[in-house]
Chain A
Amino acid sequence: MTITDTYYLVLAAMIFTIGAVGVLVRRNVLVMFMCIELMLNAVNLTFVAFARQLNDVRGQAFVFFTLVVAAAEVAVGLAIIVAIFRRRRGTTADDVRMLKG
Chain B
Amino acid sequence: MTAVIFFIFAALALIGALGVVLARNPVHSALLLVVTLVSVAVFFIQQQAHLLAAVQVIVYAGAIVVLFLFVIMLLGVDREESLDDPLPHQRIAAIALGIIVLAELIFLAGHNWATGAPAPDQFALKGGGTGLGNNVERVARVLFTDFLWPFEITAGLLVIAVVGSVVLARRSGQPVEMVEEEVDEVDDVDTLEGEVAAP
Contact = CB atoms under 8 A, between A and B. Distances in A.
| Interface of B: prevailing SS | helix
B94 A74 contact: no
Nearest to B78: A30
Interface in B66-118: 67-68, 71-72, 74-75, 77, 81, 86, 90-91, 94-95, 97-99, 101-102, 105-106, 108-110, 112, 114, 116, 118
B64 interface: yes
Interface of B: 2-3, 6, 10, 13-14, 17-18, 20-21, 23, 26, 29-30, 33, 36-37, 40, 43-44, 46-49, 51-52, 55-56, 59-60, 63-64, 67-68, 71-72, 74-75, 77, 81, 86, 90-91, 94-95, 97-99, 101-102, 105-106, 108-110, 112, 114, 116, 118-119, 123-128, 135, 138-139, 142-143, 146-147, 150-151, 154, 157-158, 160-162, 164-166, 168-169, 171-172
Interface of A: 1-3, 6-22, 24-28, 30-31, 33-35, 37-38, 41, 44-45, 48-58, 60-61, 63-65, 67-76, 78-83, 85-86, 91-92, 94
22 contacts: A3-B2, A7-B6, A13-B109, A14-B102, A16-B101, A17-B98, A17-B99, A28-B81, A41-B40, A44-B52, A53-B114, A54-B114, A55-B126, A56-B124, A61-B143, A64-B151, A68-B157, A71-B161, A78-B68, A78-B71, A80-B168, A82-B75
